[in-house]
Structure 1
């Protein structure tokens, strides 16, 4: 039996923290979550219980933006001090991975809070013989980011979906890493054996793009996908796929279902199901009344469900949340729903006749890398 690594994430509910939490949820054979809540920093006993339970703590909790830079600095440094005070009070020395930033070198108080925070962790580790690794992280982007806070990409996505025109203030080249790639880097560090060491690691960026280049791609996504229902060219393991999945996370849920154009004449009917600039796999299923298929989620795949006969209920739920979104589709008016990543989904035949559903997904099924995780909606 494998002894699972007990991992806690400060900032578990934020952009980076929630993505890492969900990513580690796909590694349940080796990882055990230690739950963290924001108010632990206001409760000494809860924070002490948290640090004493963890084998590894990923410290992500931080303030990124505030009109007063001194508030950012004081908040971020005090969070680290509270975490270390709890470790000292309980004589705990978990392995700590600190989420720092390439802004450490910038002349602003956010960067200084990261730089000084790293020094606090390193001094503590040197004193008690603990393990601290600091990740110096480039610009991070991904689904569910907060506009005007997490990244300019989140802001652009939000503005374009809202019909606004983003402004490029400085068309510089930006070094980027996708959130799934960053989560994988954290996971690899978690798996390393714990040693008495102090180290920092510059997380390499995985793409480098001009701001205007990114904006152009996002505007193309709007035109092709939102306006015309056409999936753009998004190859597997590409920046474009990561950007597309980021973009679609900002589309409101009432965008679906999308009705097809049904052409009818004396011969019958014709409906175009899928138009795409990228390869993929098409399939169909028949489902008898009352039966449900699915109850799984994907972390990268683009997937379309098209109901062409019968009555169906398609349900979605973002994992680790409670809200369930339901779409009702009827083959008499053929329509489709695309499955957002990190949302468990299913389809149920709610009619009295056979349900026929066509499926398209942007990559062929690979049982060794299925990107399919089973969770009830």
Structure 2
């Protein structure tokens, strides 16, 4: 079993990598990292000495003074190299660099020189080193005004703010889940590679990103419609947008009931995308679910009985509780990377309709069990 540590574990990419490694518990053991390790040599040495693999993601992306970015990023690499030497580490170090290496800015310079410093350590210490040159990354839980323009736009649009385009450039993008797959592939290969150019998986003008995100706001957040998603990129962008909504105060959404002497009619979902619809009955006191998805879009609609739907973002402790009653039919949608369940908290049978955007595939279920 490989012992893997991630500097920058709590950051955008770090969180996704840490959580994904947790899906392969028979293959990887995660060695926890805290940012204060860089401030105390003994803690950093202890961390480094435990690791077979170190993924160096810790870095500063933005600051009012570019010199602070340069000094900070190079300083972190120097501290890590010192610790690798102090502990006589033979760890495989993967370094996260950027396509901005070739640009005339201090952030790109800090990444290029940091990668070269780490490569020099590997050569002089007979260590393993992989330098990964990474394009623009987007995905759920990125920090607005810091990690990516997608995070900034999605955060603002979901809060009814109006983003502005400074430069309508062409962006080469990779979804954070796809980047994590590339990092894990390099971990598994266990080969030294001074430069690995991680390929972008999509391209878009900034204005197109804004247009798509505004469509998701108009159709999904405002009307509950699952929008047409024409590519894997659009599915990833939509799932990213959903994570910036005010989920605790957005759900549950009550349906519009049409009643007449025959009974009631409720429209459960409007789709501009395909998928699979199913239903369940649940006896009182029983809980279903306790799993999460990393790519699927899913809706739980309660039409009879009383239910408690719970959500918790993986890696966090806060549990969101949503109470639904079939007398006022309502739904809750499941964001990616949120483990979720549904419990019958009433005294009669619970009827639930489920919709998910892809057919169930037992060879690729995208379903990971973890109690809420």
Q: CA deviation at 1:251?
A: 0.5
- Residue ranges of structure 1 left out of the alignment (5+ in a row): none
Give the alignment of 1:150-299 within 5 angstroms. 150-194=147-191, 197-234=192-229, 238-253=232-247, 254-299=249-294
Q: Using structure 2 for the length normalisation, give the TM-score.
A: 0.98
SS in 1 for 2:364: coil
Q: 1:149-169: per-residue Cα shift (whole Å, max 9, x none)? A: 000010000111111111112
For the pair 1:332 / 2:327, whether they are aligned, the reply is yes
Q: CA deviation at 1:198?
A: 4.5
Give the alignment of 1:4-153 within 5 angstroms. 4-153=1-150
Alpha-carbon distance in 2 for matches of 1:299, 1:246: 11
Q: Which runs of 4+ in 1 moved over 6 A?
A: none
Q: CA deviation at 1:259?
A: 0.4
Tell whether the 8 Å contact from 1:311 to 1:330 is kept in structure 2 after alignment: yes
- The partner residue of 1:313 within 293, 308, 312 is 308
Q: 1:325-358: per-residue Cα shift (whole Å, max 9, x none)? A: 0000000000000001101000000000000000
Alpha-carbon distance in 1 for matches of 2:126, 2:212: 48
Alpha-carbon distance in 2 for matches of 1:104, 1:184: 22
Tell whether the 8 Å contact from 1:306 to 1:335 is kept in structure 2 after alignment: yes
- Residue ranges of structure 2 left out of the alignment (5+ in a row): none
Q: CA deviation at 1:193?
A: 3.0
Alpha-carbon distance in 2 for matches of 1:198, 1:259: 54
Tell whether the 8 Å contact from 1:122 to 1:198 is kept in structure 2 after alignment: no
Q: 1:120-160: per-residue Cα shift (whole Å, max 9, x none)? A: 10111110111111110000000011110000010000111
Q: CA deviation at 1:11?
A: 0.1
Q: CA deviation at 1:71?
A: 0.9
Alpha-carbon distance in 1 for matches of 2:25, 2:164: 42
Q: CA deviation at 1:93?
A: 2.1
Alpha-carbon distance in 1 for matches of 2:37, 2:311: 31
Alpha-carbon distance in 2 for matches of 1:199, 1:69: 26
Q: Using structure 1 for the length normalisation, give the TM-score.
A: 0.97
Aligned length: 371
Tell whether the 8 Å contact from 1:126 to 1:198 is kept in structure 2 after alignment: no
Tell whether the 8 Å contact from 2:92 to 2:190 is kept in structure 1 after alignment: no
Alpha-carbon distance in 2 for matches of 1:137, 1:251: 27
